[in-house]
Structure 1
């Protein structure tokens, strides 16, 4: 056995360490970013990817644009579709009449009816609930897109499913 064969393990380790150091020193990325890249997994990437939302609204509605802005500020990718026949959209997606509001949105197969807060939509997507969607019926003051100063009416976010299965998803008390 030659001397270099005896030292190969030692030399190999030193070469690997040197290359690692050179890679870090030659990188323009801060170490914190490099550490995050090593920890990232495809599953984490999918969970943080912004959900795409299609919003169907009346072309004359102004509060719907404010709600869309609320979603965008909370990381959603939004595309709006003005339609003169919003009732046809509600029928297509089986929105119960008693839960109807001014606009209808679709996100990851769920129906979002009215001024539902972004955090409730995010919770729905995270929990992957076995429901058709969420609704804030009518247009309560203080919901996202319906802000009027500091006034805030109590409102409820309902989840709904086929066969008229309606459940309270999140209850918001009045501003005191």
Structure 2
């Protein structure tokens, strides 16, 4: 039985490597991947602290799970205490606070930006989408477009920069 498992795993590994090499050759030796195609590390769980009554927090968690993250929701009665203890600047606050890979993820940050953060590993405290912009992950309303919003990369020294900009869209 053990030999069968090892053989099966070996064939699976060979198939994955062969497929990757085939794709590389098919793309003339250039690696091409969009940020959504890069998967989140499965060994790390996204731990989300949120109010038990917040529906958009649950919708954001579902967005993250749909994009490959393992997410665990921890309901807390005082979310502001979590934010303060994490050192989150007040101006960057939103409705839920998450942690993964040593970073703070505040608010409705798209999964593709969290994946990019984990892949690039910049020296930063985390990412934030301040407030709750309509149309951001977890804040989508059928028939309504998206407000423009920025994903902010913030550092422990207080410096901030736009990590990703999302323009307004009249309809989704």
Coarse TM-score class (shorter-chain normalised): 0.7 to 0.9
Structure 1 segment 106-121 matched on structure 2, within 5 A: 106-121=99-114
Structure 1 segment 1-176 matched on structure 2, within 5 A: 34-36=14-16, 49=42, 51-149=44-142, 150-176=144-170
Larger mean Cα displacement after TM superposition, 107-116 or 51-60: 51-60
Match of 2:25 in 1: none
Query: Cα deviations across residues 35-66 of structure 1 (Å, max 9, x unaligned)?
Result: 326899xxxxx975353100000111110000
Question: Which structure has the highest helix share of the two?
Answer: 1
Structure 1 unaligned spans of 5+: 1-26, 41-45
**Secondary structure of 1:89 counterpart:** helix
Task: State the alpha-carbon separation in 1 of the partners of residues 146 and 62 from structure 2.
Answer: 19
Contact 1:50–1:75 under 8 Å retained in 2: no
**Secondary structure of 1:156 counterpart:** strand
Measured at CA, do residues 36 and 48 of structure 1 come closer, stay the same or move farther in structure 2, by a change above 3 Å? farther
**Secondary structure of 1:79 counterpart:** strand
Query: Cα deviations across residues 84-142 of structure 1 (Å, max 9, x unaligned)?
Result: 01011001111100000000000011000000000000000000010000000000000
Aligned residues: 144
Measured at CA, do residues 117 and 32 of structure 1 come closer, stay the same or move farther in structure 2, by a change above 3 Å? same
Structure 2 unaligned spans of 5+: 1-6, 21-38
* Structure of greater Rg: 1
**Secondary structure of 2:112 counterpart:** helix
